[in-house]
Amino acid sequence: MGASMAKMVVTDRDGNVHEVEGRIGVKLMETLREYDYGVTAICGGLCSCATCHIFIKPEWMPKLPAPQGDEKELLVELEHYDAPTSRLSCQVDFTEALDGLELKIAQDE
Ligand code: FES
């Protein structure tokens, strides 16, 4: 495993668990959109579509910066919003500190 990659543990909408390699230094969405079971990310990361919605496993929450303005505004309008674990994966950087990050893909709205 190269220094620029780290692991994510992704639970899909059917409850299947996948271990994937994610690129460090880019948004979580960039990795998750590569999989059929991942996120659609229709707006491409502009924080306007919310089709990149995920749930972070609570244990990992302290390692993530809190959602800011636009992200928060979009999240609270979602039917499946589940504070504080809900995040838009296009607004969260994948860092080395998040190696092993466990998350779940949110249901379609
Ligand atoms: S990709 Fe559209 S809000 Fe994240």
Q: List the alpha helices (DSSP H) in the chain.
A: 28-32, 69-75
Give 1's pLDDT tier (boundaries 50, 70, 90): very low
Q: pLDDT at position 21, please?
A: 97
Indicate the top mutation candidate among 26, 34, 51 to test ligand 1's pocket, ranked by most ligand atoms within 8 A of CB. 51
Sequence-ordered list of residues with C-beta below 8 angstroms from that of 67, at least 6 positions apart, any chain: 75, 87, 88, 91
Q: Give the separation between CA 34 and CA 38, rounded to whole angstroms.
A: 7
pLDDT, tens digit (0-9, with 9 covering 90-100), for 25-83: 999 999 999 999 999 999 999 999 999 999 999 999 999 999 999 999 999 999 999 99
What are the structural domains, with CATH classification, of the chain?
Answer: 5-105 (3.10.20.30)
Do residues 101 and 93 make contact, with C-beta atoms less than 8 angstroms apart?
A: no
Q: Give the separation between CA 102 and CA 109, rounded to whole angstroms.
A: 22
How far, in Å, is the centroid of ligand 1 from the Cα of 77?
A: 14
Do residues 14 and 108 make contact, with C-beta atoms less than 8 angstroms apart?
A: no
Ligand 1: residues with CB < 6 A are 29, 41-43, 45-52, 88, 90
74's tokens: 């979009």
Q: pLDDT at position 34, please?
A: 97
